[in-house]
Amino acid sequence: MALISLSRRLRRTPFSDGVEAAGVKGYTVYNRMRLPTVFRSIEEDYRHLKNAVQVWDVSCERQVELRGPDAARLMQMLTPRDLRNMVPGQCFYVPIVDETGGMLNDPVAVKLAEDRWWISIADSDLLLWVKGIAFGYRLDVLVTEPDVSPLAIQGPKSDDLMARVFGDKVRDVRFFRFGWFEFMGRNLVIARSGYSKQGGFEIYVEGSDIGMPLWNALMEAGKDLDVHAGCPNLIERIEGGLLSYGNDMTEDNTPHECGLGRFCNTNTAIGCVGRDALLRVAKEGPVKQIRPVEIHGSPVPPCGDLWPVMDGNLHVGNISSAAWSPDFNTNVAIGMIRMTHWNVGTEVDVITPEGIRPASVFEAFWQ
Amino acid sequence: MALISLSRRLRRTPFSDGVEAAGVKGYTVYNRMRLPTVFRSIEEDYRHLKNAVQVWDVSCERQVELRGPDAARLMQMLTPRDLRNMVPGQCFYVPIVDETGGMLNDPVAVKLAEDRWWISIADSDLLLWVKGIAFGYRLDVLVTEPDVSPLAIQGPKSDDLMARVFGDKVRDVRFFRFGWFEFMGRNLVIARSGYSKQGGFEIYVEGSDIGMPLWNALMEAGKDLDVHAGCPNLIERIEGGLLSYGNDMTEDNTPHECGLGRFCNTNTAIGCVGRDALLRVAKEGPVKQIRPVEIHGSPVPPCGDLWPVMDGNLHVGNISSAAWSPDFNTNVAIGMIRMTHWNVGTEVDVITPEGIRPASVFEAFWQ
């Protein structure tokens, strides 16, 4: 196990003081920013997430802000998802593709107004792509990274905790919708969303200065709810089939390979960069696709790179994420599997760093 | 001290097996890839780098390849440095700026041919900016990240080690020039360059499959030269004034603030994005600039974020990198200092996490 060497380049967040005080034990780096990975242990954090409520520093979900008369046009250029019926107050999960249809990011678009959007990004400098497109097309739009850092509240007691700090009206926010709520005189976007299947909210904290006051208010208000600092949990997110850009998909993959075809309206998303490239795959379907995979036997080691999926000597796919699930008493995994082997129940072998393991394509994610 | 949680998203390199076998103790993440930070200890690695020869896995210096009839035009659009007199076989350090003149990266451009360039990047997804510009301007150029991973050979015995593997002709390669050399039947670009002041080379290893064979060949050939796995060394690079993008500068800074005005030919770099924005700062000069700073007293703690530089209650700058230098018996640091306080010898205070420390603006970097 190696240490992480921290420097300014791996950016601190408005909540780093709270994260450190809570005894963070491990980090990853996401959008050149610190993202905690474990507080007590991955298993203990997992159990607690499913039973109580956690506060997550997900500042690394940076925002790309589009502002100006061409904001909506630019937003539609970025994604094959048709955005015409999206209204302010909604969040859309939007695959972002390049001119070849390769995934550049899988963010959540937040429509603040017709001429103002946030793109809450996964791990790539999407800002540079959006700025490049806006500049190249001479669009009348300002593209920036604002001082907005999401703080996620996740777990079954999220509604109770949030109501204590923001009032009961926050309970009425519907899934992938957002409302405006006041804290310390600021109006904050709060969406019912988050990178777990346990329910909860994401607070788009605008202004770093109120980061720690909000963190402390939530911790104070949730004492009897057993609130604890947490973070996206490896086991829980694999169980729930929550994909991770950079892990389960890269710029090599089309949205269809990632199982995101339902978020693509390639025919009607007029102006989308990469539309031509995607039309054929939208019609024919991909030749490999993301699948839940069960790896049999004892707990697998940490998955730090692709693990080949084999049928004898035939390379039929790769595992990109895997972990032992205490609740399902098996190894849960996410893999990209060729169509010859992607049917439910197909038996395959997985080459792990600790040897070959039998595995099978599972029927659905485990949530 | 926290651990790093490794996953596919923090990419392995063609040399990771060698790095791990050499007992790497710490990592940072650079271009979403693993970059070692320490093997024995930072001080021991530092001493060894200055006396012997090291092999560095700097695969994280990813390449952006431009290929096609518009490659040279696109390259000039990216930087205010005039590239007209650059010939194939040369490397140029090129500030890359956005439309506002803010630094997006500070890579080395490698001119392979008139219609084929590599940009060897610092830590940001420059690929996305270049692709966006190329697409927006409908340029006739292919922009990709090829399977090229730099391996640096650094230290006073670099020439001897390289000659044993690539022949004596490698000694003739001049600074920031490159030649083509053969290994296992492949032609590889080898430049006299690298992120230290101890001299050496960077091998642009094309094809991941020859990564470990080359690593092993160098280790085997250099046994009696005390060759060792190494990495960019925090102390040595601050002593030498080697800036780090993301640490010592960000997109908020112009090249002139970073002391890179000598690499800007803003008047003649026709077509450069951001030229208009830079013309005024090129004429008037910046109001703050990078300076070497000596922080007095005992060794400072690790610098994980900006440290304010103060004159009484006046905030006059920030330290972005700092370390104790055994050779110069002082704390060496890099700061961005306002013009009112940037003259040599100016006394200031630095607010470190362990208290306020007297410091002074130094005359030159310590190399």
The closest CB to that of A137, out of B25, B136, B306, belongs to B136
Nearest residue to B69 via CA among B35, B116, B25: B116
Region B86-101 average pLDDT: 98
CATH code for B63-136?
Answer: 3.30.70.1400
B1, B6, B9: best to mutate for the A interface, most A CBs within 10 A = B9
The CA distances from residue A310 to A24, A341, A352, A360, B8, in Å, are: 37, 10, 11, 11, 19
pLDDT digits (tens, 9 = 90+) for B305-333: 999 999 999 999 999 999 999 999 999 99
Q: What is the DSSP string of A96-119?
A: EE-TTS-EEE--EEEEEETTEEEE
User: Does the structure show a pLDDT above 90 at B367?
Assistant: no
Nearest residue to B269 via CA among B109, B68, B61: B109
The CA distances from residue B220 to B96, B159, B215, in Å, are: 39, 15, 9
Tally Cβ neighbours within 10 Å of residue A312: 8
Query: Sheet containing A148-154: which strands, arranged edge to edge?
Result: A178-183, A186-191, A200-206, A148-154, A54-57, A228-230
**Predicted confidence band of residue A57 (pLDDT cuts 50, 70, 90):** very high
User: Does the structure show a pLDDT above 90 at A331?
Assistant: yes
Region B29-53 average pLDDT: 98
**Chain A hits for B137, Cβ within 8 Å:** 136
CB pairs under 8 A between A and B: 168
Residue A283 Cα, gap to closest chain B Cα (Å)? 25
B1, B7, B39, B142: best to mutate for the A interface, most A CBs within 10 A = B7
**Chain B hits for A136, Cβ within 8 Å:** 132-137
The closest CB to that of B136, out of A7, A135, A244, belongs to A135
pLDDT digits (tens, 9 = 90+) for A11-49: 999 999 999 999 999 999 999 999 999 999 999 999 999
Q: Which residue of B has its CA nearest to A144?
A: B251
CB B26 to CB A2 under 8 A? yes
Q: What are phi and psi for residue A215, nearest 5 degrees?
A: -55, -50
CATH code for A289-367?
Answer: 2.40.30.110
Instruction: Classify A224 as helix, strand or coil.
Output: helix
Q: What is the DSSP string of B70-133?
A: THHHHHHHH-SS--TT--TTBEEE--EE-TTS-EEE--EEEEEETTEEEEE--SS-HHHHHHHH
B11, B12, B125, B140: best to mutate for the A interface, most A CBs within 10 A = B125
**Chain A hits for B135, Cβ within 8 Å:** 98-99, 132-133, 136, 273
CB B3 to CB A12 under 8 A? no
Q: Give the helix/strand (H/E) hosting A89.
A: none
**Predicted confidence band of residue B66 (pLDDT cuts 50, 70, 90):** very high
CATH architecture for the domain at B16-60+147-238: 2-Layer Sandwich (3.30)
CB B136 to CB A131 under 8 A? no
Q: What is the pLDDT of residue B302?
A: 96
Q: What is the pLDDT of residue B1?
A: 78
Q: What are phi and psi for residue A308, nearest 5 degrees?
A: -60, 140
Give bridge partners of residue A336 from the DSSP assignment. A290, A318
**Chain A hits for B321, Cβ within 8 Å:** 7-8
- Phi-psi domain of A292 (left: phi exceeds 0; alpha: psi -120 through 50; beta: other): beta
Residue B340 Cα, gap to closest chain A Cα (Å)? 25
Residue A35 Cα, gap to closest chain B Cα (Å)? 10
The CA distances from residue A169 to A155, A161, A191, B173, B187, in Å, are: 18, 12, 12, 70, 66
With residues binned 3-state (H G I as helix, E B as strand, rest as coil), the percentages for chain A, rounded to 5, are 25, 35, 40
The closest CB to that of B8, out of A30, A273, A305, belongs to A305
Residue A103 Cα, gap to closest chain B Cα (Å)? 12
User: Taking a C-beta distance cutoff of 8 angstroms, is the pair A342, A290 a contact?
Assistant: no
CATH code for A63-144?
Answer: 3.30.70.1400
Residue B344 Cα, gap to closest chain A Cα (Å)? 25
Region B232-238 average pLDDT: 98
User: Does the structure show a pLDDT above 90 at A367?
Assistant: no
User: Which amino acid is it at A106?
Assistant: D
Residue A231 tokens read as: 């973070």
Q: What is the pLDDT of residue B194?
A: 98
Binding site of A for substrate, by residue number, is 202
Residue A25 Cα, gap to closest chain B Cα (Å)? 5
> Alpha-carbon distance B349 to B297, whole Å?
12
Up-side HSE of residue B75: CA atoms within 13 Å toward CB? 32
pLDDT digits (tens, 9 = 90+) for A178-215: 999 999 999 999 999 999 999 999 999 999 999 999 99
The closest CB to that of A244, out of B6, B9, B244, belongs to B9
Residue A133 Cα, gap to closest chain B Cα (Å)? 5
CATH code for B287-367?
Answer: 2.40.30.110
The closest CB to that of B8, out of A10, A130, A304, belongs to A304
Residue A158 tokens read as: 């999220």
> Alpha-carbon distance B20 to B13, whole Å?
11
Residue A113 Cα, gap to closest chain B Cα (Å)? 25
Q: What is the DSSP string of A242-273?
A: ---BTTTB-TTS-TTTTT-GGG--TTT-TT-T
> Alpha-carbon distance A271 to A255, whole Å?
17
Residue B339 tokens read as: 């013009």
Binding site of A, by residue number, is 202
> Alpha-carbon distance A326 to A130, whole Å?
41
Q: Which residue of A has its CA nearest to B5?
A: A28
Tally Cβ neighbours within 10 Å of residue B127: 25
pLDDT digits (tens, 9 = 90+) for B111-157: 999 999 999 999 999 999 999 999 999 999 999 999 999 999 999 99
Handedness of CA B80, B81, B84, B86 (dihedral sign): negative
User: Taking a C-beta distance cutoff of 8 angstroms, is the pair B34, B10 a contact?
Assistant: yes
> Alpha-carbon distance B49 to A192, whole Å?
52
The closest CB to that of A8, out of B2, B8, B247, belongs to B247
The CA distances from residue B361 to A294, B227, B266, B291, B335, in Å, are: 60, 36, 29, 7, 9
User: Taking a C-beta distance cutoff of 8 angstroms, is the pair B223, B312 a contact?
Assistant: no
Q: What is the DSSP string of A266-313?
A: TTT-TT-TTHHHHHHHHHH--SEEEEEEEEPSSPPPP--S-EEEEETT
> Alpha-carbon distance B344 to B314, whole Å?
18
pLDDT digits (tens, 9 = 90+) for A217-259: 999 999 999 999 999 999 999 999 999 999 999 999 999 999 9
CB A133 to CB B130 under 8 A? no
The CA distances from residue B276 to A233, B266, B280, in Å, are: 47, 9, 8
The closest CB to that of B132, out of A12, A24, A128, belongs to A128
Q: What is the pLDDT of residue B94?
A: 98
User: Which amino acid is it at A332?
Assistant: V
CB A128 to CB B133 under 8 A? no
CB B32 to CB A124 under 8 A? yes
pLDDT digits (tens, 9 = 90+) for A87-132: 999 999 999 999 999 999 999 999 999 999 999 999 999 999 999 9
CATH top class, domain A16-61+147-238? alpha beta
**Predicted confidence band of residue B26 (pLDDT cuts 50, 70, 90):** very high
CB A128 to CB B123 under 8 A? no
Residue A137 tokens read as: 């097309």
**Chain B hits for A305, Cβ within 8 Å:** 8, 12
Residue A83 tokens read as: 């955005």
The closest CB to that of A4, out of B26, B125, B135, belongs to B26
User: Does the structure show a pLDDT above 90 at A1?
Assistant: no
Domain-wise residue ranges, chain A = 16-61+147-238, 63-144, 289-367
**Chain B hits for A26, Cβ within 8 Å:** 2-5
Give helix A158-166 / helix A211-221 axis angle, nearest 10°.
Answer: 120
Nearest residue to B89 via CA among B64, B71, B109: B109
**Chain A hits for B99, Cβ within 8 Å:** 131, 135
> Alpha-carbon distance A19 to A229, whole Å?
7
Tally Cβ neighbours within 10 Å of residue B225: 16
Among residues of chain A, what percentage have pLDDT more than 90? 98
User: Taking a C-beta distance cutoff of 8 angstroms, is the pair A117, A126 a contact?
Assistant: no
Classify the complex by whether its ipTM is higher than 0.95, answering yes or no: yes
